[in-house]
Amino acid sequence: MLATRDITVRFGERTVLDHVSLQVATGEVVALLGPSGAGKSTLLRVIAGVLTADGGSVWLDDRDITALPAHRRNIGLVFQDEQLFPHLTVAGNIGFGLRMQGIARALAAARVDELLHLIGLTAFANRPVTQLSGGEAKRVALARSLAPRPAVLLLDEPLTGLDRDLHDRLAGELAALLRATGTTALLVTHDRDEAVAIADRTITL
Amino acid sequence: MNRLPRWLVPALVAPPALGLAVFYLWPLGTLVARVVRPGSIAEALGAPGIARVLWFTLWQAVASTVLTLLVGFAPAYVLARYRFPGRRALLAAVTVPFMLPTVVVGAAFLALLPASWHGTARAVIVAHVFFNIAVVVRLVGAPWAVLPTDLTAAARTLGASPRQVLRHVVLPLLRPGLWAAGTVVFLFTFTSFGAVRLLGGAANPTLEVEIARRATQLGDVDGAAVLSVLQLAVLAIVVWWSARWQRRATVQFHGADSTRRARSRSQRRQVASVAAVTAVMMATPLAVLVSRSFRLGDGWSLRAWRTLGSAEVRPGISLGVDPIASLATSLRFAVVAAGISVTVGGLAALGISSARRRGRLLDVGLMLPLGTSAVTIGLGMLITFDTAPVDWRASWWLIPVGHALVATPFVVRALLPVLRSIPADQRAAAATLGASPLRAWWAINVRHLRRPIAGSAGLAAAISLGEFGATTFLTRAGSETMPIAIARLLGRTGEIPRAQGFALATILLVTTALIIAVAERQGVLDARDA
């Protein structure tokens, strides 16, 4: 179970998050709704450990992980603008987390193949990520975060910026994928329909 | 576009083109012609000690480059990624040494390092690192500043430790910048002259120092010519090879500047400690240089400063170097060199901006002296202008002309973007008010060009004040420039000449720093990066 307690973040004078507490049960998919500027992305960054909060704590399975550095949290984060590594291929991006963990090459390659299959981009393994379309890049970003089997997956507006058709199709795919992998997920969106389509439960910030 | 009448362009381009041909291309051609002679290469390379010179030049350049990249990495990181109080001052502290005369940097390390280091390769390398950190901060810092913060955050969430992020994400993406910086530092240190002359001693000559020694002390001009051409060839190969590598590895970010305030306490501590160490590292040599000019024996003394006006050390014993006279000579040369650079560079910039494709040729041509070592330029002039009707070696103006050769490209770089950005409709507006085309052009351009002209004139003067390599060949007894006088004074034994050398270097340091500060406010220094 993932939980935040009284998370507070200030940027200078402005308080972006004011004592925010929430819970996500294991295996649950929760959508976090709210207008832009409400601090949704900031909260995800605090949970992932790439931004230090000014107050409050983050808990994973009843363990306080507030002081744990990002790379030891086992929490994945899919960025709104993907943030794929431009110097690596599609397979290189997906296998990045596995390489960092020092997983044996053959094992990692098998896992990458599995994920390529899951997102339907098997033929793209050796392409540079700079040549992907918007939808393809989003799929690769998702696969990259899923590869190291994170305890929790955070998704920051994963479907924003896609055209309507692709958006609806990917929303369905994403919902199915999260269920199939049994992933505990917290999803940030500003689109209520999207939230309902993908998540078990919604929270408004 | 902001073009002048067509018929005017050849008239504008002719003087700079002619100057370049007479004072750069011809000497270079003479130099090469000397070398194309059976047996000359084998003869020069077979000379005793030449292998050692080549080896030292190469290994000190490689060592200096690697060390500069290592030492400059942390300041580049902090200055590229964080906003903090004093950031601008730190950036200036890191950048200014790069623009200081090599002789001043050499003198500063002579003052700073213990006597046991004098005349060692270590001393040369340390000075090179100090001098070139700016290159790393600029060329590695620029891509680093736009590297998206979220890209490294993404790597962290995938389980990469900070060290792994550096190794697997940051370094690969900075590779083009690291290559560029490495290449520039290598070129500078491979052709280093002033610092090596002062710090390396007789035991550690670079190719550049050996060329000067052969030409001016041994009278072996042919041998010196062979070595210069050899050096040119090495430089050309390095530039070509590096450009090829760089093109292969470039990843473009259209990202915005990711510079931000430090957030966590550990980040703040990191920024503060790197900034403090860097500031101390950059300020200490210069501070020690100034303080040493006030020291004699174990105490403080103004004697070195008070005796700057005379060439006598003891009554009746003259050293043949008059520090104050050298200051006057340098200032005179600087004014003349700045005048020539601004005139020639201004004409060239006007011609280039008005001409279409052929302007590019002149632009590139005028940049060439920057890629040629100072000693090569000096040697070329020395052997070219020594017979009638061009026996100009005795003419005082040959030195400022040599300085202007190196300074002109900066004037062109400063003026061209301004000229190109002046909107054509302003001219049209003036024309509709009844001004003739030339009058209209004049009225508008002069207003826009005043600041960049003033700034680049200052920069040209600073370059002239510090020029050492080419001047070594062209200088004449009794009309030494400041850098020459500093090198002579510091080469002498005895405390007073040494302290006088430090005092004169202090004057040159302060003058150059002031000119740089003024030029910076005119906004011309960014042109120097380009």
What is B396-411 written as a DSSP string? TTHHHHHHHHHHHHHH
**Per-residue model confidence (pLDDT) at position B436:** 73
Which among B160, B253, B264 is the nearest to A100, CB-wise?
A: B160
**Are residues B327 and B284 located together in one domain of the fold?**
no
pLDDT tier for residue B251 given thresholds of 50, 70 and 90:
low
pLDDT digits (tens, 9 = 90+) for B353-388: 887 677 788 888 888 888 888 899 999 998 899 877
Q: Is the pLDDT of residue B12 over 80?
A: yes
**Per-residue model confidence (pLDDT) at position A26:** 93
Q: By the CB < 8 Å criterion, does B169 face chain A?
A: yes
**Are residues B229 and B340 located together in one domain of the fold?**
no
Which among A70, A85, A86 is the nearest to B157, CB-wise?
A: A70
- Among chain A residues, CA nearest to B156: A71
Q: Is the pLDDT of residue A110 over 60?
A: yes
Cβ distance B150 to A145 less than 8 Å, yes or no, reads no
For B240, what's the count of Cα atoms within 13 Å in the CB-facing half-sphere? 6
Angle, alpha carbons B277-B280-B285 (nearest 5°): 135
Task: State what percent of residues in chain B have pLDDT above 70.
Answer: 90
Q: Is the pLDDT of residue A190 over 90?
A: no
Please answer whether residues A40 and A186 qualify as being in contact, where contact means their C-beta atoms are separated by less than 8 angstroms: no
pLDDT tier for residue B4 given thresholds of 50, 70 and 90:
low
Q: Is the pLDDT of residue B187 over 70?
A: yes
Please answer whether residues B81 and B259 qualify as being in contact, where contact means their C-beta atoms are separated by less than 8 angstroms: yes
Higher pLDDT pick, B499 / B4: B499
For residue B262, give the amino acid letter: A
CATH number, domain containing residue B471: 1.10.3720.10
Q: Is the pLDDT of residue A62 over 50?
A: yes
**Are residues B351 and B495 located together in one domain of the fold?**
yes
Please answer whether residues B326 and B485 qualify as being in contact, where contact means their C-beta atoms are separated by less than 8 angstroms: yes
Q: By the CB < 8 Å criterion, does A76 face chain B?
A: yes
Alpha-carbon distance of B473 to B453, in angstroms, equals 30
Q: How far is B134 from chain A (nearest CA, A)?
A: 27
Q: Is residue B242 domain-resident?
A: yes
Instruction: Count how many pairs of residues, chain A against chain B, have C-beta atoms within 8 Å.
Output: 77
Whole-number Cα distances in Å, A173 to A99, A158, A169, B205: 27, 12, 6, 69
**Per-residue model confidence (pLDDT) at position A124:** 93
Cβ distance A45 to B156 less than 8 Å, yes or no, reads no
Give me the residues paired with residue A187 across strands: A31, A155
pLDDT digits (tens, 9 = 90+) for B195-211: 999 998 888 889 999 99
Q: Count other Cβ atoms within 10 Å, centred on residue B290.
A: 16
Q: Is residue B310 domain-resident?
A: no
pLDDT tier for residue B61 given thresholds of 50, 70 and 90:
very high
Q: Is the pLDDT of residue B134 over 90?
A: yes
Cβ distance B168 to A70 less than 8 Å, yes or no, reads no
Which among B159, B161, B173 is the nearest to A87, CB-wise?
A: B173
pLDDT digits (tens, 9 = 90+) for B363-372: 888 888 888 8
Alpha-carbon distance of B275 to B74, in angstroms, equals 9
Alpha-carbon distance of B5 to A21, in angstroms, equals 72
Q: Is the pLDDT of residue B422 over 80?
A: no
**Are residues B200 and B278 located together in one domain of the fold?**
yes
Cβ distance B264 to A52 less than 8 Å, yes or no, reads yes
Task: State what percent of residues in chain A have pLDDT above 90.
Answer: 69
Nearest to A64 by CA among A148, A147, A6: A6
- Which alpha helices (DSSP H) does B39-161 contain, by range? 40-46, 50-81, 87-99, 102-112, 121-145, 149-157
**Per-residue model confidence (pLDDT) at position B342:** 94
The DSSP secondary-structure symbol of A89 reads B
Alpha-carbon distance of B436 to B137, in angstroms, equals 48
Please answer whether residues B204 and B125 qualify as being in contact, where contact means their C-beta atoms are separated by less than 8 angstroms: no
Q: Of chain A residues 135-154, which have a CB less than 8 A from chain B?
A: 144-145, 147-148
Q: By the CB < 8 Å criterion, does A131 face chain B?
A: no
Q: By the CB < 8 Å criterion, does B163 face chain A?
A: no
| End residue of a domain, out of B292, B312, B342 | B292
Say if the ipTM goes beyond 0.90.
Answer: yes
Alpha-carbon distance of B438 to B440, in angstroms, equals 5
Cβ distance B172 to A87 less than 8 Å, yes or no, reads yes
Number of structural domains in chain B: 2
**Per-residue model confidence (pLDDT) at position B269:** 93
Q: Is the pLDDT of residue B250 over 80?
A: no
Angle, alpha carbons B96-B367-B408 (nearest 5°): 65
Q: By the CB < 8 Å criterion, does B248 face chain A?
A: no
Q: How far is A199 from chain B (nearest CA, A)?
A: 22
- Which alpha helices (DSSP H) does B191-264 contain, by range? 194-199, 207-212, 221-248
- Among chain B residues, CA nearest to A141: B154
Q: Is the pLDDT of residue B309 over 90?
A: no
Structural domain including B411 reads 323-530
Cβ distance A145 to B263 less than 8 Å, yes or no, reads no
Q: How far is A34 from chain B (nearest CA, A)?
A: 22
Q: Is residue B371 domain-resident?
A: yes
Give me the residues paired with residue A153 across strands: A76, A185
Q: Is the pLDDT of residue B256 over 90?
A: no
**Are residues B270 and B343 located together in one domain of the fold?**
no
Q: Which residues have CB under 8 Å from B518's CB, separation 6+?
A: B455, B458
**Per-residue model confidence (pLDDT) at position B57:** 93
Q: By the CB < 8 Å criterion, does B158 face chain A?
A: yes
Furthest C-alpha separation in chain B: 78
Which among A50, A85, A101 is the nearest to B156, CB-wise?
A: A50
Please answer whether residues B190 and B372 qualify as being in contact, where contact means their C-beta atoms are separated by less than 8 angstroms: no
Q: Is the pLDDT of residue B427 over 90?
A: no
Alpha-carbon distance of A20 to A7, in angstroms, equals 5
Token couple for B250: 């470039």
Q: Is residue B124 domain-resident?
A: yes
Q: How far is CA B186 from the centre of its chain?
A: 13
Q: Is residue B358 domain-resident?
A: yes
Average pLDDT of the segment spanning B5-28: 86
- Among chain B residues, CA nearest to A81: B150
**Per-residue model confidence (pLDDT) at position B355:** 76
B269 to chain A: which residues are within 8 Å by CB?
none
Please answer whether residues A155 and A188 qualify as being in contact, where contact means their C-beta atoms are separated by less than 8 angstroms: yes
Q: By the CB < 8 Å criterion, does A54 face chain B?
A: no
**Per-residue model confidence (pLDDT) at position B529:** 41
Q: By the CB < 8 Å criterion, does B251 face chain A?
A: yes
Average pLDDT of the segment spanning A58-81: 94
pLDDT digits (tens, 9 = 90+) for B27-39: 999 888 887 777 7
Token couple for B24: 């750069």
Please answer whether residues B91 and B79 qualify as being in contact, where contact means their C-beta atoms are separated by less than 8 angstroms: yes
Please answer whether residues B15 and B347 qualify as being in contact, where contact means their C-beta atoms are separated by less than 8 angstroms: yes
Task: State what percent of residues in chain B have pLDDT above 90.
Answer: 44
Cβ distance A100 to B156 less than 8 Å, yes or no, reads no
Tokens 């061209």 found at: B416
Q: By the CB < 8 Å criterion, does A47 face chain B?
A: no
Q: Is the pLDDT of residue B46 over 80?
A: no
Q: Which residues have CB under 8 Å from B360's CB, separation 6+?
A: B352
| All domains of chain A in start order, with CATH | 2-204 (3.40.50.300)
Q: Is residue B208 domain-resident?
A: yes
Q: By the CB < 8 Å criterion, does A85 face chain B?
A: yes
Token couple for A121: 């981009």
Give the mean pLDDT of chain A: 92
**Per-residue model confidence (pLDDT) at position B430:** 64
**Are residues B450 and B522 located together in one domain of the fold?**
yes
Cβ distance A87 to B151 less than 8 Å, yes or no, reads no
Which among A51, A71, A85 is the nearest to B159, CB-wise?
A: A71
Q: How far is A121 from chain B (nearest CA, A)?
A: 21
Interface with chain B: mutation pick from A72, A74, A83, highest number of B CBs within 10 Å: A83
Q: Which helix (H) or strand (E) holds B379?
A: helix B374-384
**Are residues B193 and B58 located together in one domain of the fold?**
yes
Mean pLDDT lowest among A79-93, A118-132, B85-99, B432-446: B432-446
**Per-residue model confidence (pLDDT) at position B530:** 35
pLDDT tier for residue B528 given thresholds of 50, 70 and 90:
very low
Q: Is the pLDDT of residue B1 over 50?
A: no
**Angle formed by the axes of helices B495-521 and B323-354, to 10°?**
30
Cβ distance A51 to B173 less than 8 Å, yes or no, reads no
Q: Which contacts qualify for B516-519: CB closer than 8 Å, 24 or more apart?
A: B516/B96, B516/B99, B516/B458, B516/B459, B516/B462, B518/B455, B518/B458, B519/B455, B519/B456, B519/B458, B519/B459, B519/B462
A69 to chain B: which residues are within 8 Å by CB?
156, 161-162
For B306, what's the count of Cα atoms within 13 Å in the CB-facing half-sphere? 5
Cβ distance A71 to B156 less than 8 Å, yes or no, reads yes
Cβ distance A96 to B158 less than 8 Å, yes or no, reads yes
Cβ distance A87 to B157 less than 8 Å, yes or no, reads no
Cβ distance A101 to B148 less than 8 Å, yes or no, reads no
Q: Which helix (H) or strand (E) holds A66?
A: none
Alpha-carbon distance of A82 to A71, in angstroms, equals 18
Nearest to B75 by CA among B285, B270, B288: B270
**Are residues B73 and B187 located together in one domain of the fold?**
yes
- Which alpha helices (DSSP H) does A49-191 contain, by range? 90-94, 96-100, 105-118, 134-146, 164-180
| End residue of a domain, out of B237, B272, B292 | B292
**Are residues B276 and B329 located together in one domain of the fold?**
no
Supply the Cα-derived Rg of chain A in whole angstroms.
Answer: 17
Backbone φ and ψ of A52, nearest 5°? -90, 130
Q: Is the pLDDT of residue B245 over 80?
A: no
Please answer whether residues A55 and A18 qualify as being in contact, where contact means their C-beta atoms are separated by less than 8 angstroms: no
Token couple for B162: 């900070």
Q: Is the pLDDT of residue B249 over 70?
A: no
Average pLDDT of the segment spanning B296-318: 74
Q: How far is A148 from chain B (nearest CA, A)?
A: 7
Q: Is the pLDDT of residue B426 over 80?
A: no
**Are residues B285 and B336 located together in one domain of the fold?**
no
**Are residues B135 and B184 located together in one domain of the fold?**
yes
Q: By the CB < 8 Å criterion, does A52 face chain B?
A: yes
Which among A69, A79, A86 is the nearest to B150, CB-wise?
A: A79
Which among A52, A83, A101 is the nearest to B159, CB-wise?
A: A101
Average pLDDT of the segment spanning A35-54: 91
Cβ distance A87 to B251 less than 8 Å, yes or no, reads yes
Interface with chain B: mutation pick from A71, A99, A142, A153, highest number of B CBs within 10 Å: A71
**Are residues B287 and B334 located together in one domain of the fold?**
no
Q: How far is CA B214 from the centre of its chain?
A: 24
Cβ distance A77 to B164 less than 8 Å, yes or no, reads no
Give the mean pLDDT of chain B: 86
A87 to chain B: which residues are within 8 Å by CB?
172-173, 251
Angle, alpha carbons B187-B191-B196 (nearest 5°): 125
Q: Is residue B311 domain-resident?
A: no
Cβ distance A50 to B153 less than 8 Å, yes or no, reads yes
A71 to chain B: which residues are within 8 Å by CB?
156-162, 164
**Per-residue model confidence (pLDDT) at position B110:** 94
Q: Is residue B128 domain-resident?
A: yes
Q: Of chain A residues 93-122, which have a CB less than 8 A from chain B?
A: 96-97, 99-101
Q: Which contacts qualify for A202-205: CB closer than 8 Å, 24 or more apart?
A: A202/A30, A202/A31, A202/A32, A202/A33, A203/A22, A203/A30, A203/A31, A203/A32, A203/A33, A204/A32, A204/A33, A204/A34, A205/A20, A205/A32, A205/A33, A205/A34, A205/A38, A205/A39, A205/A40, A205/A43
Q: Is the pLDDT of residue B279 over 80?
A: yes
Starting at the edge strand found earlier in the chain, the sheet holding A184-189 runs: A75-78, A152-156, A184-189, A29-33, A201-204
Alpha-carbon distance of B106 to B128, in angstroms, equals 9
Please answer whether residues B312 and B318 qualify as being in contact, where contact means their C-beta atoms are separated by less than 8 angstroms: yes
Q: Is the pLDDT of residue B241 over 90?
A: no
> pTM to 2 decimals?
0.87
Task: State what percent of residues in chain A have pLDDT above 70.
Answer: 100
